[in-house]
Structure 1
Amino acid sequence: MRIIALSTLKTFWEDSPEYIDAKEPTLAWYRHALNADWGAPADVKQDFRNASILKDGRVVFNIAGNKYRLVVWINYAYKVVYIRFIGSHAQYEKFVGNEFS
């Protein structure tokens, strides 16, 4: 899969020292997704059983033992994963509120 954009992930742990523990698990997710060949939501669930498949191609991944949430939008036809958000659960709740209000 092509992933846009790694810089969003890097900014999360580089700009906030309290989130440095997200670096390794997030990079592990990135490497896995980069080598994945997801053609449908079922393929994502096969690789990440705890991923939440939402409507319109959105997927929520649990990072670092569910300490953080990663929200992506996947274009399965073009094999592209767009990173929309990464943050703590509290930040995720605000993101969801803003995203859908």
Structure 2
Amino acid sequence: MSYNVIAWALLAFYCTKHPEVQEHIIDWFKTIEKADWKNFYELKKDFPSCSLIGDDRVVFNIKENSYRIIVRFSFNYKRVMVKFFGTHAEYDKVNAKTIEPII
């Protein structure tokens, strides 16, 4: 059973805003979509640089750490809710544990 990425529209919006990262987001999405992880430790094998930050939230480094994606995982239900996408500088200005998507 594959993962359902909720708020894909948020990432699609940012792909238009940051076209230089589009290919990296699509690669990330394809990996997430086809995965069958049961927990964070299995996820970490495919994304060694990701970090668990609490409340089932995970931060991914995209395009050599130039961008960040924050998502909330539900490993039991195979759902991933995108909470944030932005540059590393934008990420430094938000609370990664509480941010909610804004378009």
Q: With the length of structure 2 as denominator, give the TM-score of the two structures.
A: 0.87
Q: Once superposed, what is the RMSD of the aligned Cα atoms?
A: 1.6
Q: Kindly tell me: are residues 70 and 97 of structure 1, through their superposed partners in 2, closer, same or farther at Cα, counting changes over 3 Å?
A: closer
Deviations 1:19-45 (A, max 9, x none): 211100000000000000121010110
For these two proteins, the number of residue pairs brought into alignment is 97
Which residue type is aligned with residue 10 of structure 1?
Answer: A
- Tell me the TM-score normalized by structure 1: 0.89
In structure 2, list runs of 5 or more residues that go unmatched: none
Of all paired residues, the percent bearing the same amino acid is 33
- Structure 1 runs (4+) greater than 4 angstroms displaced: none
Normalized per residue, which structure has more helix? 1
Q: Distance in 1 between matches of 2:55 and 2:96?
A: 17
Q: In the aligned structure 1, how far is the partner of 2:96 from the partner of 2:56?
A: 18
Q: Residues 13 and 51 from structure 1, CA distance in 2 versus in 1: closer, same or farther, beyond 3 angstroms? A: same
Q: Which runs of 5+ in 1 are unaligned?
A: none
Q: Does the CA-based 8 Å contact 2:71-2:82 persist in structure 1?
A: yes
